[in-house]
């Protein structure tokens, strides 16, 4: 369920956030930055998720980000490539086990990944 109207500022913030995530993923591919120690288990959960979309041979959490910039992440997915998202130690699944928005803080998280891994 995508949100129909959004402010230009919100769209710019989402584009900047996605760009930062893409740069971190490229840095990890080059050997810089950390990789989550449980990333294979996280990736497997993504591969079984009903929100998963495969496009051009690549697995995404929902439609790829640029195809649906404004979205409800817990129902539409976040649009990230699942492999890169699962490898990033700072990332979390956008939903909880009941397909509600995950609640993430510095001390706790109820996302699908954190409650299972």
pLDDT at 5: 56
- The SS3 assignment for 109 reads strand
Q: What's the Cα-to-Cα distance from 73 to each of 31, 34, 35, 37, 65, rounded to whole Å? A: 29, 25, 23, 24, 10
DSSP state of 95: B
Kindly report the backbone phi and psi dihedral angles of residue 8, in degrees, each rounded to the nearest multiple of 5, phi listed first.
Answer: -60, -35
pLDDT at 82: 95
Predicted structure pTM score:
0.78
CB of 2 closer than 8 Å to CB of 68:
yes
The Cβ of residue 70 has, within 10 Å, a number of other Cβ atoms equal to 14
Per-residue pLDDT of the chain (117 residues; tens, 9 = 90+): 444 456 788 878 888 877 887 777 677 677 777 889 999 999 999 999 999 999 999 999 999 988 988 889 999 999 999 999 999 998 999 999 999 999 999 899 999 999 986
Q: Structural domain boundaries of the chain?
A: 8-91
- The SS3 assignment for 107 reads coil
Name the nearest CA neighbour of 49 among 19, 23, 85. 85
pLDDT at 112: 95
pLDDT at 72: 92
């Amino acid at each position: 369920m995508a949100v129909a109207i959004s402010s230009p500022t919100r769209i710019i913030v989402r584009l900047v956030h996605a760009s930062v995530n893409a740069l971190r993923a490229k840095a990890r591919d080059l050997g810089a930055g950390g990789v989550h120690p449980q990333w294979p288990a996280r990736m497997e959960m993504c591969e079984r998720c009903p929100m998963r979309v495969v496009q051009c041979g690549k697995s995404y959490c929902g439609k790829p980000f640029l195809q649906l910039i404004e979205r409800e992440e817990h129902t539409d997915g976040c649009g990230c490539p699942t492999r890169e998202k699962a490898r990033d130690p700072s990332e979390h699944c956008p939903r909880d086990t009941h397909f509600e928005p995950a609640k993430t803080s510095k001390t706790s998280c109820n996302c699908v990944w954190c409650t299972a891994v």
